[in-house]
A and B are shown apart, each in its own frame.
Chain A
Amino acid sequence: GNSVTQMEGPVTLSEEAFLTINCTYTATGYPSLFWYVQYPGEGLQLLLKATKADDKGSNKGFEATYRKETTSFHLEKGSVQVSDSAVYFCALSGKSGSSNTGKLIFGQGTTLQVKP
């Protein structure tokens, strides 16, 4: 079945450091891929998405490229800020036969702590 695997956390960085959070997936067909962010005590917010191979999603300085050959969707940011501290979830939304299911399958989440 479909699954998503993220790198273990927590990830602790100093402000302005470069961030990479790895995400790989297993899926049949061509899923859509997402990154969601969860701030403490809150629900999830969509950070970015990509719907087909080689698409690059970007938002708020974060980027991720849909790599079909490596089944990856790694999240990157060139210079993190303290306000980026949160839990980041990689997710995929796939198909069942010819139908779009809309169901999201999440990775386990990676906690990012950015220190001043």
Chain B
Amino acid sequence: GAVVSQHPSRVICKSGTSVKIECRSLDFQATTMFWYRQFPKKSLMLMATSNEGSKATYEQGVEKDKFLINHASLTLSTLTVTSAHPEDSSFYICSASSRLTGGGSNQPQHFGDGTRLSIL
């Protein structure tokens, strides 16, 4: 089945550091990637939708200058948390869908294993 690889799986860094998280689709072309944030014991909150070759669409309340998203190719999207602070500590998860997997509302997204970000 479709596989999405997310890297790194865990990051611990000092306050003020910028952190980049990569999301790769390994066996399909991901025309759309989604970035979620999950707080402990809480559901996933969609942060932004990333379409290859165009600017990401951010959900209300998500700072686009804080969470930079780049989707430069059909297999790679990156999320950069700029000048991270302790309140940015969270579990970040990406997912991907494509024309081949159907896209649209009736096809599942394929999820990465997540990145646990801890800011000291």
* Stretch touching chain B among A18-26, A43-51, A68-76, A77-85: A43-51
How big is the A interface, by class? 20 to 34
User: Closest residue to B109 on the A side, CB-wise?
Assistant: A104
Binding site for A on B (CB under 8 A): 4, 6, 32, 34, 41-44, 46, 49, 93, 95, 97, 103-114, 116
Q: A104-B34, A106-B44 are in contact. List 7 more A-B contacts (CB 8 A).
A: A32-B105, A41-B116, A42-B113, A43-B112, A89-B44, A102-B49, A102-B105
Binding site for B on A (CB under 8 A): 31-32, 34, 36, 41-46, 49, 51, 89, 93-95, 100-109, 111
Can you list 14 residue pairs at the A/B interface with Cβ under 8 Å? A31-B105, A34-B108, A41-B114, A43-B6, A43-B112, A44-B44, A49-B106, A49-B108, A51-B106, A95-B105, A101-B105, A102-B32, A102-B103, A109-B42
